[in-house]
Amino acid sequence: MQNAWQIHFTRKNALESGHSSRVLVYGMCGRMCFMRDVWQRCFFRDFCYGGMRGIGMVVIMLFPILFPLIAGFFLLVMKEPKNRNVLVGIAGAALGIAGGSAVYALCRVRGQDAILFSLSKALPVYLKPDSLGILFAAVVTVVWVLAGFYSFSYMAPGQGERKEGEKRFYGFYLMVFGVLVGLCFSGNLITFYIFYEWMTLLSLPLVLHTRSREAVMAGLKYLFYSFCGAYMALLGLYFLYRYGRTLTFTAGGVLDETLVAGREGLLLVLALFMLLGFGVKAGMFPLHAWLPAAHPVAPAPASAVLSAIIVKAGVLGTVRVVYYMFGADFLRGTWVQTVWMVLALVTVFMGSMLAYRENVLKKRLAYSTVSQVSYILFGLSLLQPEAAEGALLHVVFHAFIKCGLFLAAGVMIHKTGKTRVDELRGIGKEMPVTVWCYTFASLALIGIPPASGFISKWYLAQGALRSGIPVFSWLGPVVLLVSALLTAGYLLPVTMRGFFPGTGYLKPEQEEGRRAVFFSVKKEASPLMLVPLMVLAVLAVALGIFPNPLTACIAEIVAGIV
Amino acid sequence: MAGQMEFVQNFPCFSIMLCMFAGIISSALKGKAAKWINTAVLCANILMSAAVLLFAVDKGGYYVYVMGQFPAPWGNELRVGVLEAGMALFFCVIMLLSLMGGRHKLIQEVKEGKHGLYYILTDLMLSSLLALIYTNDLFTAYVFVEINTISACGLIMIRQNGRTIEAAVRYMIMSLLGSGLFLMGLCMLYDLTGHLLMSNIEGKVREIYLAGTGSSYHIPLLITIAVISVGLAIKSALFPFHAWLPDAYGYSTVSSAAILSSLVSKGYIFLLFKIIYRVIGFEVFHDSKIVNILFIFSLMGMIFGSLSAIKENDVRRMIAFSSIAQIGYIYMGIGMGTQAGMVAAVFHVLSHAATKSLLFIAAIGLTDVSGGSRKLTELTGSGYRNKIAGVAFMVGSLSMVGVPLFSGFISKLLFSQAAVQNEGKMLPTLIVLGISTILNAIYFMKTVIRIYTPVGETEYFGVTWRENKGYAAALVCFMALNVMLGVFSQPIVDLIGVGLDSFSA
């Protein structure tokens, strides 16, 4: 990739020094050459003649990124339709097209690449979906589409939400999808960073949705933690730019040994900074405080995607930085790895404890996310193939499970208005399908075989034991086990009290003089909400029973990087 | 670039003269005619600067334009290269847009009879800015520095209420202190070197400097450099000398605020670039350790400016305080004492000029739909009442915070890249840059969230863009400029590099 601009100037300087008589001739056509070079530099040259087979592939790759952005923007600026069905129709069609095009792109784009334009020297905005990116993008697409269709029912007015807010919600929801696909497709760190920042900004309105004081405070907290994290990541980027051969994601790392020699200490500090920076999004201790504040205040579908997907962007960032920029070998056995393992384990335990002690259901689930995402980070921190496989498996499983749990919680809150776990007694009698879905997802998250969580935790424990790292090789599995018990402790009470409310349950309603006949007061939600929920519950269990295609795919990814 | 002169090469001189004559003619005309003349002059200047820029890019290097009949040691000269022409073009564009965006406020806030005067002052302002950009003579620079000061004072106090008069007096005092120091420095340089033309001084300065500490001129030279730097730092509101700024930017009419913040202070900074490269010489300036003082001041400015902005409850003054932080960024680039730092500083001059004027002009649209109140609490929901201003304010804020795809991000990137290459100043730069980014995010994002927080019942009416098309057009152009600087930054950064090379050649 040569720099047309520089060529232009060197050519001109040569002309001036060598053949002064031709300067005038050159001056005449120079202006045109100048403009053409600028134009090519900005858009077309790399775009057309980069590593792409043709413009068609660029369109396939860009469509799932740009279409949701444009459609979301259109929804934001569009006039409020009189009939709500029109709005839902447009948003649904857009979501369907975006999801469909993303699936199509995922099947086609592996190994392709495209440079879109350059920010500055050697900093091109560059897309190159590899297997890892495609895996993440696939998870994003499934979760996003399911939660999106769920939201069409959840966001229906009548819940005290104004219609104008609904349009805004769909608009930003779509835009974040486009940005996330871009994030997964990013081929270098600067592109990743751009999409990462925009993901934060565009998901902010989802957190702020209700505009209550609590939501605004949570939103600001989200924003500042995220900016802090992003700046820490950016700090690392500056140095990688200097000490690396390239910023393009390369399996095994990009550090230039000759430049790095003697500066390992500095780079290790920076690696820790980047880990902490991306750890903000992933809710890693000590910068996790925004997560339990921001996730629960959003509407349920938004909480679901925030907890299931947005946190995974932090995980993806961590994978990219550790395995594709610094390289696993650079970090193995260093103090940074130790610190990282400690932080991840502390978060696993602390998140579970906090979830266990929390009474508000959505907050409990948010703390559970804090804990579960650090399972993934712990797996990555071992820098060991099985553990990394377990981590990536847990990325997929946790996305489906946590999305399912939040959607189930959303149904309960939507229909009953009850937000606290102790108020939800007898909920299983009122909405059995929802609570069964919730239960399956819970069992998967706890890791009871044959549900999916078991597989990932098995790999994680195996990896830890085989890693041979002193203390952590046994401490890790122990903490995971304790945390799994706590997970059972905080998730299952909803099911247990839901189906077995106990003797005291009938009393209040009898006192009010109403005949309490449970089976006649079913409050089951609309199919639009139940179907996504059931799909996710089925996925949570089925992926545990038939994990082979997924494990094979992940094993291939891991084989390339560890 | 000897040999036959092309017609284009006259344009810099023409544009300075054109502005001055426009000012003179306008004084005999009515307000409306003055406005048209002003707009025409700006457009003509944009075209001429663009032509000069293309010429300079084609030819590379620079050329010297001799004013009058006297050759080098005595005569007056203009010196034109890529950077000068580009800066002139940029300044003219920003000024045109700022005037366009603030025109309706000017009509409301300034007495009918004074409109003509306002345009005369802007003509003079433009002529002085162009002269500061192009001149190769230190004394000419001084003269235009004073013209600039006077017209700036006029621009501040043309909206006559108590606060602006106080602000103008403050500005006058601080500014005169600055130009006084500059004049002192200039006299001392003349004394030391016997020259007033920049290129002639440089050689002598190097001689004196190379003579080492034993030379009796060594300490006077250091003092001269310090005096000139501090003088220009006062005029461009570097941190401890910024007391005049918040009132001057906060209470004057909005076009004035935009012009003052994005052009006037930048004109002085550009003069400082020039002095560093062409009068004192980059190496001498770097060795003199004055850079370190500027560096420390700039870091303090970045933090304290932002802290003051956080405390502020008046949106205009908040933006004004943010200027102090941003000026700090620019001086940080200078203070790094490397070529990369300079490129970053020049880019930030462009980026900040495009962003700050956008913010001022967007803020006025928001306060207008909030009953004229500038209190942040009153602005709640104003982003819905004036949509285009809301979007523009958001774009400006995101750019200031340094979100990718806007110009501020590229500045941040360039500063950091420069810092990474500079062993000694790396850590303080990156840390302060980080703190400053977070502080910027706090007050700008807080404001953006506030203007998009809906209010149930309000007595304020909304406006649409159709009611003031010029205003909307100015905002759209500013936003486009911002995104352009943020996305297609590479050609611009390359041009700055080329410009700086020929700057010191």
Is B485's pLDDT higher than 80? yes
Domain hosting residue B314, numbered range: 289-505
Is A419's pLDDT higher than 90? no
CA A215 → CA A211, A241, A444, distances in Å?
6, 38, 31
Q: Taking an 8 Å Cβ-Cβ cutoff, which residues of chain A contact chain B?
A: 5-6, 9, 12-13, 16, 23, 26-27, 30-31, 34, 38, 41-42, 117-121, 123, 193-194, 197-198, 201, 208, 211, 216, 219-220, 223-224, 227-228, 231-232, 234-235, 238-239, 241-242
Place of tokens 């299952």: A492
* Each residue's pLDDT tens digit, B119-134: 999 999 999 999 999 9
User: B257: which 2 tokens?
Assistant: 């605020």
Helix axes A23-39, B31-59, angle to 10 degrees: 110
User: A541: which 2 tokens?
Assistant: 């269990």
End-to-end CA distance of chain A: 29
The pLDDT of residue A46 is: 46
**Sign (positive/negative) of CA torsion B49, B54, B60, B63?**
negative
Rounded Cα–Cα distance for residues A116 and A58 (Å): 9
Rounded Cα–Cα distance for residues B329 and B344 (Å): 9
CA B217 → CA B202, B223, B281, B458, distances in Å?
15, 10, 16, 69
Which of A204, A232, A238, A297 to probe by mutation at the B interface, max B CB count within 10 Å? A238
pLDDT band of A23, cuts 50, 70, 90: very low
Rounded Cα–Cα distance for residues A482 and A476 (Å): 10
Can you list the alpha helix ranges (DSSP code H) found in B114-161?
A: 115-134, 138-157
Residue B353 lies in a domain: yes
The pLDDT of residue A40 is: 52
Rounded Cα–Cα distance for residues B388 and B97 (Å): 15
**Mean pLDDT value across residues B283-287:** 85
Residue B197 lies in a domain: no
- Write out B60-74 in H/E/C secondary structure: CCEEEEEECCCCCCC
Residue B299 lies in a domain: yes
Is A4's pLDDT higher than 60? no
Which chain A residues contact residue B59 at CB under 8 A? Answer: 16, 23, 27
Rounded Cα–Cα distance for residues B464 and B411 (Å): 33
Contact A119 B54 (CB under 8 A): no
CA B190 → CA B138, B205, B224, B227, distances in Å?
10, 11, 10, 14
The pLDDT of residue B286 is: 85
**Sign (positive/negative) of CA torsion A319, A322, A324, A327?**
negative
Is A99's pLDDT higher than 80? yes
A544 phi and psi angles, rounded to 5 deg? -80, -30
Is A33's pLDDT higher than 70? no
Rounded Cα–Cα distance for residues B49 and B220 (Å): 39
Rounded Cα–Cα distance for residues A114 and A546 (Å): 35
Rounded Cα–Cα distance for residues A186 and A140 (Å): 14
3-state SS, residue B45: helix
**Mean pLDDT value across residues B330-343:** 91
**Mean pLDDT value across residues B52-79:** 82
- To the nearest whole angstrom, how far is the Cα of A231 from the nearest Cα of chain B? 6
Place of tokens 């879109």: A116
* Each residue's pLDDT tens digit, A346-401: 999 999 999 999 989 999 999 999 999 999 999 999 999 999 999 999 999 999 99
The pLDDT of residue A37 is: 55
Is residue B336 within 8 angstroms of chain A, CB to CB? no
* Each residue's pLDDT tens digit, A154-202: 888 765 545 568 888 999 999 999 999 999 999 999 999 999 999 999 9
Q: How many C-alpha atoms does B208 have within 13 Å on its Cβ side?
A: 25
> Is the pLDDT higher at B252 or at B462?
B252
Residue B259 lies in a domain: no
Is residue B427 within 8 angstroms of chain A, CB to CB? no
Contact B416 A238 (CB under 8 A): yes
**Sign (positive/negative) of CA torsion A473, A479, A485, A491?**
negative
The residues, ordered by sequence, that sit 6+ positions from B494 with a Cβ below 8 Å of its Cβ are A5, A6, A9, A121
> Is the pLDDT higher at A236 or at A430?
A236
User: A350: which 2 tokens?
Assistant: 């602390």
8 A C-beta contact, residue A340 and residue A272: yes
Mean pLDDT score of chain A, rounded to an integer? 84
Which chain A residues contact residue B419 at CB under 8 A? Answer: 238
**Mean pLDDT value across residues A218-228:** 90
User: B8: which 2 tokens?
Assistant: 């284009």
A222-226, A266-270, B74-78: the lowest-pLDDT one: B74-78
Place of tokens 């009290």: A497
User: Pairing relation of β-strands A123-127 and A114-120?
Assistant: antiparallel
Rounded Cα–Cα distance for residues B261 and B237 (Å): 10
Rounded Cα–Cα distance for residues B296 and B293 (Å): 5
Which chain A residues contact residue B441 at CB under 8 A? Answer: 223-224, 227
Mean pLDDT score of chain B, rounded to an integer? 89
Rounded Cα–Cα distance for residues A282 and B152 (Å): 51
Contact B453 A9 (CB under 8 A): no
The pLDDT of residue A480 is: 92
* Each residue's pLDDT tens digit, B377-430: 888 888 888 889 999 999 999 999 988 889 999 999 899 889 988 888 888 898
Residue in B145, B93, B154, B90 with CA at minimum distance from that of residue B122: B154
* Each residue's pLDDT tens digit, B140-166: 999 999 999 999 999 998 888 888 888
- Write out B382-427 in H/E/C secondary structure: HHHHEHHHHHHHHHHHHHHHCCCCCHHHHHHHHHHHHHHCCCCCHH
Rounded Cα–Cα distance for residues A533 and A147 (Å): 8
Which chain B residues contact residue A34 at CB under 8 A? Answer: 54, 57-58
Give the chain B residue nearest A30 (alpha carbons).
Answer: B58
Residue B203 lies in a domain: no
Rounded Cα–Cα distance for residues B215 and B225 (Å): 16
Helix axes B387-401, B469-487, angle to 10 degrees: 20
8 A C-beta contact, residue B102 and residue B254: yes
pLDDT band of B247, cuts 50, 70, 90: confident
Cα A115 → chain centroid: 24
Residue B245 lies in a domain: no
Is residue A139 packed enough to be buried (19+ CB in 10 Å), middle (13-18) or exposed (0-12)? Answer: buried
Contact A238 B59 (CB under 8 A): no
Nearest by CB to residue A5, choosing from B416, B453, B491, is B491
Contact A5 B487 (CB under 8 A): no
Is B5's pLDDT higher than 90? no
Residue in B164, B159, B128, B139 with CA at minimum distance from that of residue B264: B128
Is A41's pLDDT higher than 60? no
**Mean pLDDT value across residues A424-446:** 88
Residue in A506, A526, A524 with CA at minimum distance from that of residue A516: A506
The pLDDT of residue A53 is: 54
- To the nearest whole angstrom, how far is the Cα of B239 from the nearest Cα of chain A? 24
Is residue B499 packed enough to be buried (19+ CB in 10 Å), middle (13-18) or exposed (0-12)? Answer: buried
> Is the pLDDT higher at B301 or at A25?
B301
The tally of domains found in chain B comes to 1
A7-11, A389-393, B92-96, B254-258: the lowest-pLDDT one: A7-11
3-state SS, residue B463: strand
- To the nearest whole angstrom, how far is the Cα of B254 from the nearest Cα of chain A? 28
Nearest by CB to residue A5, choosing from B403, B421, B490, is B490
Residue type at position A170: Y
Cα B384 → chain centroid: 31
**Mean pLDDT value across residues A58-62:** 87
> Is the pLDDT higher at B266 or at B3?
B266
A272-281, A363-372, A505-514: the lowest-pLDDT one: A505-514
The pLDDT of residue A504 is: 64
> Is the pLDDT higher at B458 or at A445?
A445
Cα A485 → chain centroid: 26
Is residue A501 packed enough to be buried (19+ CB in 10 Å), middle (13-18) or exposed (0-12)? Answer: middle
Q: How many C-alpha atoms does B279 have within 13 Å on its Cβ side?
A: 30
Is residue A113 packed enough to be buried (19+ CB in 10 Å), middle (13-18) or exposed (0-12)? Answer: buried
Is A225's pLDDT higher than 80? yes
Residue B27 lies in a domain: no
Is residue B445 within 8 angstroms of chain A, CB to CB? yes
- Percent of chain A as helix, strand, coil, to the nearest 5: 80, 5, 20
A39-43, A320-324, B40-44: the lowest-pLDDT one: A39-43
Rounded Cα–Cα distance for residues B141 and A9 (Å): 31
The pLDDT of residue A34 is: 53
The pLDDT of residue B213 is: 74
Task: Say what the pTM is.
Answer: 0.88
Rounded Cα–Cα distance for residues B427 and A440 (Å): 51
- To the nearest whole angstrom, how far is the Cα of B9 from the nearest Cα of chain A? 14
Residue type at position B337: G
Rounded Cα–Cα distance for residues B172 and B177 (Å): 8
Element (H, E) at A164: helix A163-185
3-state SS, residue B85: helix
The pLDDT of residue A15 is: 42
* Each residue's pLDDT tens digit, B192-242: 888 888 888 888 888 888 887 777 888 888 899 999 999 999 998 898 888
The β-bridge partners of B67 are B76
8 A C-beta contact, residue A67 and residue A99: no
The residues, ordered by sequence, that sit 6+ positions from B464 with a Cβ below 8 Å of its Cβ are B387
8 A C-beta contact, residue B399 and residue B355: yes
The pLDDT of residue B2 is: 47
Place of tokens 């940074």: A336
Can you list the alpha helix ranges (DSSP code H) found in A123-162?
A: 131-154
